[in-house]
């Protein structure tokens, strides 16, 4: 009987790998290597959770009936444009913990492409396969923990998997360090992670661009966040906050923290203030990221004109929003 990891890998056919490579702008060989890492990484996270008090019972409640969403590139593409990737409560976040963005940033740097959407795609698939095994073997919580431990140990003890095990171990260590950083911020972390998204909304709402323009602005903002995170240390504030790009969780936080448009600037100020207090050495990089997001959003689509002809790249209203953000950051 094939292992859970073998079953997961078998679902990534050459055609699926090719589609993923096109979606992520990555070489298929890099995607294949990434797939070889994400399964053991997610399994390790699941196994670790199962060893915590009440962890196996919590996992039992998460297990779905099906086998996941492999082959559905809609979920993958949403991660590139501000979908649920990295959002709090997502399967990926549940299995890898609060440092999940840093985990993704760490692997992305090693593998040379944005791995986070691939993690988001595989996490529910792995949960589905584990759920199928639990149902087939009539396992309870204790049996689930034992099965996961056996799968992990079988993989890590195989000398052929030495390189992959090292990558998984490094990524998990990075995630643990990021989780500690996030915890040290307490409630102020919400402002830190929402700062660039608030800047995006300030620019976007200053001069509405229509549905297509709004999508372009969100895509540009997400790319700016990913670029900043990829250039930073995987354990940094930038990687911990923005390693997954623009997520639905960020948008939700902005709505909670800024019930009205005039409160958006307060999020920007509070985020920078928190970084200044907790991680002063990263303050300038954080400010730069917020401004890059604002500028990229403003330049994502022309304002005015007709059918893309004419118009202004950055309108007066957008520039005023950018200037306000600069002033707030100091």
Quickly state the pLDDT bin for 75 (edges 50, 70, 90). Answer: very low
The whole-number pLDDT of residue 20 equals: 87
Q: Is the pLDDT of residue 215 over 50?
A: yes
| Segment (H or E) for 274 | helix 264-278
Q: Rounded to two decimals, what is the model's pTM?
A: 0.83
CA distances from 174 to 98, 104, 159, 233, 325 (A): 11, 10, 23, 10, 31
Helices 162-185 and 264-278 pack at an angle, to 10 degrees, of: 110
- Please compute, for residue 23, the number of CA atoms within 13 A of its CA located in the half-sphere on the CB side: 24
Q: Is 89 left (phi over 0), alpha (psi -120 to 50) or beta?
A: left
Q: What is the dihedral of CA 80, 269, 289, 177, to 10 degrees?
A: -80
The whole-number pLDDT of residue 306 equals: 42
Q: Is the pLDDT of residue 6 over 70?
A: yes
Section 205-228 average pLDDT: 83
Per-residue pLDDT tens digits for 110-150: 998 888 888 888 888 888 889 988 998 999 999 999 999 99
CA distances from 98 to 50, 87, 258 (A): 16, 10, 23
Residue length of the chain: 330
Q: Is the pLDDT of residue 167 over 90?
A: yes
Quickly state the pLDDT bin for 13 (edges 50, 70, 90). Answer: confident
Better-predicted residue by pLDDT, 23 or 163: 163
* Full DSSP string of 186-227: GGGHHHHHHHHHHHHHHHHHHS--HHHHHHHHHHHHHHHHHH
- Close Cβ partners of 265 (under 8 Å, ≥ 6 residues apart): 198, 202, 324, 325, 328
Better-predicted residue by pLDDT, 15 or 40: 40
Going by the DSSP 8-state scheme, the letter that residue 1 receives in this structure is -
SS3 13: coil
Q: Is the pLDDT of residue 2 over 90?
A: no
Q: Is the pLDDT of residue 10 over 60?
A: yes
Terminal Cα distance for the chain, rounded? 61
> What is the distance, to the nearest Å, from the Cα of residue 247 to the centroid of all Cα atoms in its chain?
7
SS3 300: coil
Range among 10-19, 34-43, 59-68, 309-318 with highest mean pLDDT value: 34-43
Angle at 102 between CA 97 and CA 106, to 5 degrees: 125
Better-predicted residue by pLDDT, 67 or 45: 45
Burial class for 236, CB neighbours closer than 10 Å (0-12, 13-18, 19+): buried
Quickly state the pLDDT bin for 321 (edges 50, 70, 90). Answer: very high
Task: Give the residue from 105, 123, 94, 111 showing the smallest Cα distance to 242.
Answer: 105
Are the C-beta atoms of residues 267 and 254 closer than 8 Å to each other?
yes
């Amino acid at each position: 009987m094939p292992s859970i990891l073998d079953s997961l890998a078998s679902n990534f056919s050459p055609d699926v790998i090719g589609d993923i490579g096109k979606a992520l702008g990555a070489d298929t060989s890099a995607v294949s290597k990434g797939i070889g890492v994400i399964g053991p990484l997610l399994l390790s996270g699941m196994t670790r959770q199962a060893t915590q008090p009440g962890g196996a019972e919590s996992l039992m409640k998460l297990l779905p009936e099906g086998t996941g969403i492999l082959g559905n590139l809609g979920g993958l593409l949403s991660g590139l444009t501000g979908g649920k990737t990295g959002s709090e409560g997502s399967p990926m976040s549940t299995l890898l913990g609060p440092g999940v963005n840093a985990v993704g940033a760490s692997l992305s740097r090693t593998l040379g492409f944005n791995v986070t959407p691939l993690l988001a795609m595989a996490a529910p698939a792995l949960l589905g396969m584990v759920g199928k095994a639990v149902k087939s073997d009539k396992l309870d919580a204790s049996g689930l923990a034992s099965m996961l431990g056996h799968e992990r140990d079988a993989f890590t003890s195989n000398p052929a998997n030495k390189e992959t095990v090292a990558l998984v171990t490094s990524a998990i260590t990075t995630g643990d360090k990021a989780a500690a950083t996030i915890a040290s911020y307490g409630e102020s972390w919400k402002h830190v992670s929402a700062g660039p998204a608030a800047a995006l909304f300030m620019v976007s709402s200053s001069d509405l661009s229509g549905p297509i323009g709004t999508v372009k602005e969100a895509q540009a903002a997400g790319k700016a966040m990913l670029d900043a995170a990829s250039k930073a240390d995987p354990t940094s504030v930038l990687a911990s906050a923005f390693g997954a790009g623009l997520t639905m969780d960020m948008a939700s936080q902005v709505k909670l923290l800024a019930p009205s448009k005039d409160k958006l600037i307060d999020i920007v100020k509070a985020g920078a203030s928190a970084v200044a207090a907790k991680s002063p050495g990263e303050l300038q990089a954080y400010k730069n990221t917020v401004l890059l997001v604002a500028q990229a959003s403003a330049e994502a689509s022309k304002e005015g004109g007709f059918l893309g002809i004419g118009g202004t790249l950055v309108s007066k209203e957008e520039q005023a929003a950018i200037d306000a953000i600069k002033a707030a950051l100091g």
